[in-house]
Structure 1
Amino acid sequence: MNTSHALKSAFVTGATGLLGNNLVRELVARGVAVKALVRSPAKGQQQFAGLAGVELVPGDMADVPAFAGQLRGCDVVFHTAAFFRDNYKGGSHWEELQSINVDGTALLIDHAYRAGVRRFVHTSSIGVLNGEPGAPIDETCLRELDDADDYYRSKILADQAVLRFLGSHPDMHASLVLPGWMWGPADIGPTSSGQFVNDVALGKLPGLVPGSFSVVDARDVAQAHIAAAARGKRGERYLAAGRHMTMRQLVPLLGKIANVKTPTRELPLALLYALAAVQELYARATGRPILLSLATVRLMVKEAGRTHFNHAKSERELALRFRPFDQTVADTVGWYRSQNWF
């Protein structure tokens, strides 16, 4: 089913998030009426103040039936919501990951179908893929469950829930978009990238950390979702991971744009583990987000060099293009400045 019919109405989960809010804005700009699922109506009003064409739907992925009635009449559901607090809250959160990312996704596609929706775009993650360090990774390089941390495992299982649903409902159309590490404006969460921008701008980064990342503009990922709804093939995965960057490239670029001095020394691994352990204790005592958790350090070590992605399929089938990353960083820094974060 390869149709490019015009979308008139869309339901977006995770609407106040970094990807969700940029997707909502892009849809509205194209004349699509949006129902935006928000856990906090106050945050929703703050995020979309003065934006016509957005209806806020209070609700939570932990209780899909409570808002399922609102799915009626929508042409497509964009499922961008996910629980990913592991990265900077420390500790273990498997129950929430299972309930929100896995069970929530299965319930959402089922309720969407029952409400008459036949198009579904699921936000997956590059974490569901795996490859040799330095080798280009594409959509066929699937990660084994036993090689995944808790967050990645929840995303693999969520993908499987979507594909299983397609297996038993031949008239449902769904495709999956796999973003890299997203950056961009209006990251009020903030997500780990927004937290990172603030930490660097405020001089809180103690030194360079090892590792490489695939960095991408959330607005480009939003375009990929809309293209997947219009042109994506049923049951197919599409990478939207952006470009490969090491910390040694990323931090000075951020420093230059934010006009701050940045560290040049790489922190030894033993020190990183020690810092992360201390930060986790701090997080547990205060409940505040932290810069570095043990999960993050483990991930940086394990995934180093595994962030070279081949986007040929998304470029060919979704006409996906990436804006220059300098522009993304400038827009992100500019947005935080305009909001007086630093």
Structure 2
Amino acid sequence: MQGQTFFVTGATGLLGNNLVRALLSRGATVRALARSRAKAAAQFDDIRDRRLEIVTGDMENVASFARHLEGVDALFHTAAYFRDSYKGGSHWPMLERINVIGTRDLIAAARAAGVRRMVHTSSIALLDGPPGALIDETMLRDTNNADDYYRSKILTDRAVLEALERYPDFHAVMVMPGWMWGPGDAGPTSAGQTALDFLHQRLPGVPPATMSFVDARDVAEAQIAALAKGRRGERYLAAGRCMTLAELFAVLEEETGIKAPTRPLPLPLMYAVAGVQELLARTTGKPALLSWAAVKSLQREAGRTRFNHAKSERELGLTFRPVAETVRDTVAWLRANQMEPA
């Protein structure tokens, strides 16, 4: 990758910023798309490297930054609208505009600029199976079993596949992350917020949930490997390890010394709280701390977070670092960046 130039969307996000750093470490030049130059400056304030070029732009208006795609060797698309979609209310117009239409516009602009290689950040949202099943890339979800965010990711993948059918000279690979944790979670994402809530001892109990826990740095490595080794039009899982929230909280307790909550939170109670939060969100205009969509997704996906990484291990050489290391580095970053006092 020495001497090559890459364009990264969503560059200030949890995955995006770790991908930017991984590419720079390999001697590449990176054009990093960010909606806010100030946010980019804060995220990358430790980098003094002229090979990092900040491009200000938004996936709602691809044309505004399309000229920066000229001379790029490959495109890494990590940007997506997702955080607000679980804060109450309906968000389909923005999900469609940014995730689906924005991706179509991005591919068209990249091709017009001469870019012929792309790694797209897909999602485990595309996959489904019975509770307890070991799920692989072939087990695709029906849109009838998808909330609005999941549906937007399904349609976004279809947009990538349609581009491959339309353009025989275009090469795209899709990487499917799980619930990402790690340093650089400035948003924060739901992972970073969970860590902060744990550190502040704001968690009232343990929801009956399972998740596929993965370090964003491991997903970044999977994306780089996918560019070099991935087969055109293929999906590759980088979902991580299946865990219950109780198991994750136990790791957080071990790494921080803070007592983990142990009281189970029954689903009826969570739905009741979500209903009140949705009502408050509509009357105050503030986002719901716990939305109906979030609880419904938690219930629907419980037990459906065991993923088979055989293909990614075989073709990309995928590996995962220990969960404790990821938790430790996440907490250290949050504290170092004054999101949580030491």
With 50-59 and 76-85 compared, the bigger mean Cα shift is at 50-59
- How far 1:321 moved relative to its partner? 0.4
Letter in 2 for 1:21: N
Q: What is the TM-score normalised by the length of structure 1?
A: 0.96
2:211 aligned residue: 213
1:75 maps to 2:67? no
1:318 maps to 2:325? no
- How far 1:283 moved relative to its partner? 4.0
1:52-73, Cα deviation, whole Å (9 max, x unpaired): 1211100000001111111010
- How far 1:247 moved relative to its partner? 1.1
C-alpha contact 1:86 1:92 (8 A) present in aligned 2: no
Select the residue among 25, 36, 55 that pairs with 2:32. 36
1:9 maps to 2:24? no
Letter in 1 for 2:169: D
Pairing of 1:195-214 with structure 2 (within 5 A): 195-214=193-212
2:87 aligned residue: 89
Distance in 1, Cα, partners of 2:88 & 2:170: 38
1:129 aligned residue: 127
1:230 maps to 2:228? yes
With 233-242 and 7-16 compared, the bigger mean Cα shift is at 7-16
C-alpha contact 1:88 1:293 (8 A) present in aligned 2: yes
Distance in 2, Cα, partners of 1:196 & 1:7: 39
Q: What is the TM-score normalised by the length of structure 2?
A: 0.96
1:119 aligned residue: 117
C-alpha contact 1:138 1:309 (8 A) present in aligned 2: yes
Distance in 2, Cα, partners of 1:74 & 1:130: 35
- How far 1:132 moved relative to its partner? 1.0
- How far 1:256 moved relative to its partner? 2.3
1:337 aligned residue: 335
1:220-261, Cα deviation, whole Å (9 max, x unpaired): 000011111111100000000000000121112112212211
Cα root mean square deviation, aligned: 1.4
1:188 aligned residue: 186
2:166 aligned residue: 168
C-alpha contact 1:86 1:151 (8 A) present in aligned 2: no
1:109 aligned residue: 107
Q: Per the alignment, in what secondary structure is the counterpart of residue 57 of structure 1? A: strand
C-alpha contact 1:86 1:295 (8 A) present in aligned 2: no
1:302 maps to 2:300? yes
Closer/same/farther in 2, CA of residues 97 and 223 from structure 1, 3 Å limit:
same
With 332-341 and 303-312 compared, the bigger mean Cα shift is at 332-341
Distance in 1, Cα, partners of 2:85 & 2:251: 23
- How far 1:272 moved relative to its partner? 0.4
Letter in 2 for 1:17: G
1:47 maps to 2:43? yes
Q: Tell me the percent identity.
A: 60
1:251 aligned residue: 249
Q: Which runs of 5+ in 1 are unaligned?
A: none
Q: Per the alignment, in what secondary structure is the counterpart of residue 262 of structure 2? A: coil
Runs of 4+ more than 3 Å apart: 281-291
C-alpha contact 2:83 2:189 (8 A) present in aligned 1: no
C-alpha contact 1:195 1:291 (8 A) present in aligned 2: no
C-alpha contact 1:10 1:32 (8 A) present in aligned 2: yes
Letter in 2 for 1:14: G
